[in-house]
C-alpha cells in the first residue's frame, strides 16, 4: 500500500498522540513513510514534482485503528464487503480495520485467514487485518489452532459477539495463547444471564422491554480476571460499558495483570435515553447504559484505564432492523462516523484531542504490535487530514457502507476528514478539498 508519489503538506497542525505533542508546521511523505516534519521544514526536502498541499491549519494525525468491525465477506456480502467497509473506513480517517471472524465460513482455519488477506489486498483501500476464532465454529467448546492461525496472519483470537462461557475452555485458551504471545479478546457478556434487549432499569420497565443486567457483563469480566491471574495470559475485554466494569479493570491493573480493554463509541456518546421511541438502530450489544455509566467509562478513558475506542461496526440490512425493538438484530454501522462521533468528547471538554487520538490510534497499534499510530519520521504514512471543528449533519445516504443502520442518523456532528493516506497513498480525498 504505497507508491512513489511524494507529498508535502504545509501549514498543518501536527498531532502525535504517541508523544502527546501538538505542533505547527509541515510534513513530508515519500515511499510510504514520513520522511521529514517540523516547523522550519525545507520545501526542497522532496524531489521536484512532489505534490504540495496547503492544509490551511487543519489537523494531520495518524490514521485511526479500529479493533472491532463486522464485515460480511465471505458469506454475507449483502451486508458488507471488504471493499465497501474499507471505503467507509477511509472516509472516516480509519486506516487499519480488524475484521471479526463470524463470517461464513467462520475464520477458524488458516486457509480462510489467507483468503481474507489476499481478498483485502485485491479489493480494499485500507489495511484489513483478520482476527481468527478462539474456538472452532465459535461454539465455545474446542480451541482453534492458535499457532497456525497466527502464522497465517490472524492478529488476535476472539469469538466475536459470543463470549466463551466455559471457564475450563477459557483457562486452556489463555494458557495456550500465552506460549504464542497471542492476545485473546473476549465479548464480556454472559448470554445465559443477559436475556434482555436493553439496559435493565426504570426506563426498560416503562418501555415494556426486558432488561439486561450489568451483572451479565461484570460477572463474566470478574471470572476472566481470575483466569488471567491463574494463567498469566494476555487478555483484552472487547468493550466494557458500566461503572462496575471500570472498577474490576482498575483492580486487575493494580494487581499487575496483563489485561486491557476497549469501549464502543456508542457507549461513550449515547445512553439508554437515546433509544427514545424504540429506535431499533440503537439496539446494541452491550446495550446503551445509564448516564452515570457513560460518565464512568469516559472518566476511565481519560485516565488511561480504558485503552481503546472501537466502532463496533456491525452492518444489518433493512429486514433485520425493520422489526419490533425486541425482535430486531443488534448492531449499528460506525466506521465512517467513528472520528466525528468521538469528537463530541473533545468539544464537550471531556477529553483532549491528544488523549482521544491515543485511544483511536496509538494504543490499538501497541496492542497489535504495529508501527502505525504515531506521527514521527520513519513511521508509516498512514495519515488523516481533518478539520476538528467543521460541522455536518449525518445523512445516511452519504454513508459508504452497504447498510445504513447508523446510531447517528441525522445527528449534528463535527470533524470532517478531508484526506486519508495509507502507506503514502491517497485513499480518500473530499471533493474540492484544498482547492
- Answer yes or no: is pLDDT of 332 > 70: yes
Rounded to an integer, what distance in angstroms lies between the CA atom of residue 11 and that of residue 196? Answer: 52
For residue 1, pLDDT beyond 50: no
pLDDT tens, residue by residue, 94-104: 999 999 999 99
Highest mean pLDDT among 32-41, 123-132, 423-432 belongs to 123-132
How far apart (Å, rounded) are the C-alpha atoms in residues 9 and 28? 6
Query: Does residue 378 have a pLDDT over 60?
Result: yes
Residue 3 pLDDT: 54
**Complete DSSP assignment for 302-363:** HHTSS-EEE--B----HHHHSS-TTTSPP-BB-TTTHHHHHHHHHHTTSS-HHHHHIIIIIH
Active-site residue, selected from the candidate residues 190, 293, 312, 382: 312
Mean pLDDT of 212-233: 97
> How many of the other CB atoms lie within 10 Å of CB of 21?
11
Sorted by sequence, the CB contacts under 8 Å of residue 327 that are 6+ apart come out as: none
What pLDDT sits at residue 5?
A: 85
The DSSP H or E segment spanning 393 is strand 383-393
Helix (H, G, I), strand (E, B) or coil at 291: helix
- Decide: 265 and 312 in contact? Cβ < 8 Å: yes
**CB contact at 8 A, 209 and 197:** yes
Overall average pLDDT of the 341-366 stretch: 98
Average pLDDT over the chain reads 96
Question: Beta 412-422 vs 383-393: how paired, if at all?
Answer: antiparallel
pLDDT band for 4, please (50, 70, 90 cuts).
Answer: low
Range 2-15 average pLDDT:
86
- Work out the burial of residue 397: count CB atoms within 10 Å of its CB; fewer than 13 is exposed, 13-18 middle, 19 or more buried: exposed
Bridge partners (DSSP) of residue 66 are 97
The single residue listed with the C-alpha cell 420497565 is 205
For residue 61, pLDDT beyond 60: yes
Q: Which grid coordinates are listed for 435?
A: 482547492
Q: Which region among 49-58, 135-144, 351-360 has the lowest average model confidence (pLDDT)? A: 49-58
Nearest to 312 by CA among 293, 328, 335, 346: 335
Preceding peptide of 105 cis, ω within 30°: yes
Q: What is the DSSP letter of 161?
A: T
Cβ partners under 8 Å of residue 431, min gap 6: none
Strands (DSSP E) contained in 55-158 are: 59-62, 64-69, 94-99, 127-130, 157-158
Give 293's Cβ-side CA count (13 Å radius).
Answer: 25
Dist. CA 404–CA 385, nearest whole Å: 25
392-421: pLDDT as tens digits: 999 999 999 999 999 999 999 999 999 999
Active site residue 312: yes
Place 2 in a pLDDT band, splitting at 50, 70 and 90.
very low
Residues 304, 288: contact at Cβ < 8 Å? no
Question: How far out from the chain centre does Cα 205 lie?
Answer: 32
Rounded Cα–Cα distance for residues 108 and 390 (Å):
43
Domains plus CATH for the chain?
Answer: 62-368 (3.20.20.140)
Residue 412, SS3 per DSSP: strand
Residues 25/39, Cβ–Cβ less than 8 Å: yes
Amino acid at each position: 500500500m504505497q507508491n512513489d508519489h511524494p507529498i508535502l503538506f504545509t501549514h498543518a497542525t501536527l498531532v502525535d498522540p504517541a508523544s502527546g505533542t501538538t505542533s505547527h508546521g509541515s510534513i513530508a511523505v515519500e515511499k510510504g513513510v514520513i520522511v521529514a516534519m517540523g516547523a522550519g521544514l525545507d520545501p526542497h526536502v522532496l524531489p521536484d514534482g512532489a505534490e504540495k498541499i496547503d492544509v490551511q491549519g487543519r489537523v494531520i494525525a495518524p490514521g485511526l485503528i479500529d479493533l472491532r468491525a463486522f464485515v460480511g465477506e465471505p458469506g454475507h456480502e449483502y451486508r458488507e464487503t471488504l471493499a465497501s467497509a474499507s471505503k467507509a473506513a477511509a472516509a472516516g480517517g480509519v486506516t487499519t480495520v480488524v475484521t471479526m471472524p463470524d463470517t461464513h465460513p467462520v475464520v477458524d482455519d488458516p486457509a480462510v485467514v489467507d483468503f481474507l488477506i489476499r481478498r483485502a489486498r485485491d479489493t480494499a483501500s485500507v489495511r484489513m487485518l483478520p482476527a481468527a476464532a478462539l474456538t472452532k465454529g465459535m461454539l465455545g467448546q474446542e480451541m482453534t489452532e492458535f499457532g497456525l492461525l497466527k502464522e497465517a496472519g490472524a492478529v488476535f483470537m476472539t469469538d466475536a459477539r459470543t463470549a466463551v462461557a466455559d471457564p475450563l475452555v477459557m483457562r486452556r485458551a489463555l494458557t495456550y495463547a500465552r506460549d504464542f504471545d497471542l492476545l485473546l479478546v473476549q465479548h464480556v457478556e454472559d448470554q445465559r444471564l443477559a436475556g434482555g434487549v436493553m439496559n435493565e432499569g426504570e426506563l426498560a420497565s416503562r418501555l415494556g422491554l426486558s432488561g439486561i443486567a450489568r451483572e451479565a457483563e461484570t460477572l463474566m469480566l470478574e471470572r476472566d480476571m481470575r483466569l488471567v491471574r491463574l494463567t498469566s495470559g494476555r487478555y483484552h475485554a472487547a468493550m466494557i460499558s458500566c461503572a462496575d466494569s471500570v472498577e474490576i479493570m482498575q483492580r486487575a491493573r493494580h494487581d499487575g495483570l496483563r489485561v486491557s480493554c476497549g469501549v464502543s463509541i456508542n457507549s461513550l456518546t449515547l445512553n439508554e435515553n437515546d433509544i427514545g421511541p424504540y429506535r431499533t438502530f440503537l439496539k446494541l450489544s452491550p446495550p446503551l447504559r445509564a448516564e452515570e455509566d457513560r460518565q464512568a467509562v469516559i472518566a476511565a478513558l481519560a485516565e488511561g484505564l480504558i485503552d481503546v475506542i472501537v466502532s463496533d461496526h456491525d452492518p444489518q440490512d433493512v429486514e433485520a432492523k425493520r422489526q419490533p425493538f425486541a425482535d430486531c438484530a443488534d448492531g449499528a454501522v460506525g466506521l465512517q462516523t467513528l472520528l466525528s462521533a468521538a469528537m463530541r468528547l473533545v468539544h464537550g471538554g471531556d477529553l483532549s484531542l491528544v488523549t482521544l487520538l491515543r485511544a483511536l490510534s496509538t494504543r490499538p497499534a501497541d496492542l497489535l504490535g504495529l508501527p502505525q499510530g504515531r506521527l514521527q519520521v520513519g513511521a508509516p504514512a498512514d495519515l488523516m487530514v481533518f478539520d476538528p471543528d467543521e460541522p455536518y449533519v449525518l445523512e445516511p445516504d452519504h454513508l459508504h457502507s452497504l447498510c445504513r443502520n447508523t446510531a447517528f442518523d441525522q445527528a449534528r456532528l463535527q470533524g470532517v476528514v478531508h484526506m486519508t493516506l495509507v502507506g503514502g497513498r491517497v485513499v480518500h480525498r473530499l471533493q474540492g478539498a484544498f482547492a
